[in-house]
Amino acid sequence: MDLRITCIPGDGIGPEIVAEAKKVLDKVAEKYGHQMKYTDILMGGASIDAYGVPLTDEAIATAKAADAVLMGSIGGNTTTSPWYKLPPNLRPEAGLLKIRKALNLFANLRPAYLYEELAGACPLKEEISSQGFDMLIMRELTGGLYFGERKTIEENGVKKAIDTLTYDENEIRRIAIKGFDVAMKRRKKVTSVDKANVLDSSRLWRKVVEEVAKDYPEVTLEHMLVDNCAMQLVKDPAQFDVILTENMFGDILSDEASMVTGSIGMLSSASLNDTKFGLYEPSHGSAPDIAGLDVANPIATILSASMMLRYSFDLDKEADAIDAAVKKVLQDGFRTGDIMSEGCTKVGCKKMGDLIAERII
């Protein structure tokens, strides 16, 4: 099969981790008889440096023409990088928001799973971590506060900033359907997270989610307020299967969920629209402080490549091969610095990519 993949190496550690994901994909292609056709585009700071904008229309067109997009990370140090002296709509992150909107990537899947081998890196008490956990955050990605009207004005000499949180029932319905669909392939439980005790948008969210739930009688639905969810994630993470939530809550809760797995360097993500098309990226950022040092953990990007094979190409066997190779490398005791523990062998980014590629069978 021909796999047309647009790659966005991006900024910071992005180029290094994407290179390792390609190495692993190439090994999969060789073993399973596929052809990887990569095209690179610039986004974020790299695009600002080359074109003065964080994402060009040509780059969007290239991405659209592919079957899937594999991304590293974008952005730099927000206090020292000159990119952050630019107006907000020209900064690196604006490129990411623009591609999400342009490709209609409204469903963001962020799995958070505690590997047995990394249980020691989990910051929770042993009595909690020993239970293990395996959850998936289904985050709405093209609505809410991120895309509502915003402005900064001055009224009677007083500066005032306004951000608006808007959701219509169709936006809620389509993400809820994604959440329930994925729950059907997992442990059949959806926790819908909102702030319905305060926000109108959350009250509508709850109502629409309940309507959608009627079509999924096998799935157990529960509602949880976002502040309680933040607490439950560290108190009893094993209770969660699918967490279904809006854009901003999902942004915050997914960082929290990743931290309890021990390392944000392990977490993949997929951003999907209504077709098979998707953008796949690690949940972590560009870590400019360690860029170019060959110490970054490429596993989240490699696991994102696995999600790409599964969701955009229906290549489940190949995706399983990547997931198994990652598990094996951890069992064999290899670790990058962020997940290092006593008795293990510390390796750099490239070596980790090599070791995973070697274990593709």
Query: What residues are annotated to the active site?
Result: 146, 195, 227, 251, 255
Number of Cβ within 10 Å of residue 356's Cβ equals 25
If the CB atoms of residues 134 and 256 are measured against ligand IPM, the closer one turns out to be: 256
Q: 242 contacts which partner out of Mg ion, ligand IPM, none, CB within 5 to 8 A by kind?
A: none
> Whole-number minimum distance, CB 278 to ligand IPM, in Å?
14
β-pairing, 268-272 with 278-282? antiparallel
What six digits make up the tokens of 6?
A: 């647009």
Backbone CA torsion sign across 129, 135, 141, 146:
negative
> Whole-number minimum distance, CB 143 to ligand IPM, in Å?
12
Total number of residues that touch Mg ion (CB under 5 A): 1
3-state helix/strand/coil string of 274-342? CCCCEEEEECCCCCHHHCCCCCCCCHHHHHHHHHHHHHCCCCHHHHHHHHHHHHHHHHCCEECHHHCCC
- Write each residue from 36 to 75 as x if it is in contact with ligand IPM (CB under 6 A), else as -, in one continuous string: ----------------------------------------
β-pairing, 189-194 with 242-245? parallel
Candidates 96, 209, 221, 357; binder of ligand IPM (CB under 6 A) is: 96
Q: Please give the Cα distance from 201 to 147 (Å, whole number).
A: 14
How many CA atoms does the CB half-sphere of 76 hold within 13 Å?
A: 19
If the CB atoms of residues 28 and 96 are measured against ligand IPM, the closer one turns out to be: 96
* CA–CA–CA angle 286, 290, 296 (5° rounding): 75
User: Interface with ligand IPM includes 319 (CB under 6 A)?
Assistant: no
Dihedral of the alpha carbons of 24, 27, 29, 35, in degrees to the nearest 10: 80
Per 3-state DSSP, the chain is made up of helix, strand and coil in percentages (nearest 5) of 45, 20, 30
Looking up tokens 């958070």, which residue turns up?
Answer: 112
User: Interface with Mg ion includes 246 (CB under 5 A)?
Assistant: no
> How many residues can be counted in the chain?
361
What six digits make up the tokens of 270?
A: 């997929």
Q: 96 contacts which partner out of ligand IPM, Mg ion, none, CB within 5 to 8 A by kind?
A: ligand IPM
| Stretch of residues binding Mg ion (CB under 5 A), selected from 71-79, 220-228, 246-254, 336-344 | 246-254
| Stretch of residues binding Mg ion (CB under 5 A), selected from 178-186, 229-237, 250-258, 322-330 | 250-258
Residue number with the smallest Cβ distance to ligand IPM: 93
> Whole-number minimum distance, CB 130 to ligand IPM, in Å?
29
| Stretch of residues binding Mg ion (CB under 5 A), selected from 94-102, 123-131, 244-252, 259-267 | 244-252
What six digits make up the tokens of 193?
A: 């997270």
Candidates 16, 241, 251, 323; binder of ligand IPM (CB under 6 A) is: 251
> Whole-number minimum distance, CB 259 to ligand IPM, in Å?
13
> Whole-number minimum distance, CB 204 to ligand IPM, in Å?
22
Of 155-214, binders to ligand IPM (CB under 6 A) are none
> Whole-number minimum distance, CB 237 to ligand IPM, in Å?
19
User: Interface with Mg ion includes 251 (CB under 5 A)?
Assistant: yes
User: Interface with ligand IPM includes 93 (CB under 6 A)?
Assistant: yes
Q: 11 contacts which partner out of Mg ion, ligand IPM, none, CB within 5 to 8 A by kind?
A: none
If the CB atoms of residues 20 and 251 are measured against Mg ion, the closer one turns out to be: 251
Contact 229, 150 (CB under 8 A): no
If the CB atoms of residues 3 and 244 are measured against ligand IPM, the closer one turns out to be: 244
What six digits make up the tokens of 288?
A: 């400019």
Kind and range of the H or E run holding 108: strand 107-113
> Whole-number minimum distance, CB 288 to ligand IPM, in Å?
13
- Where do contacts with ligand IPM occur on this chain (CB under 6 A)? 93, 96, 251
Would you tell me which residues interact with Mg ion (CB under 5 A)?
251
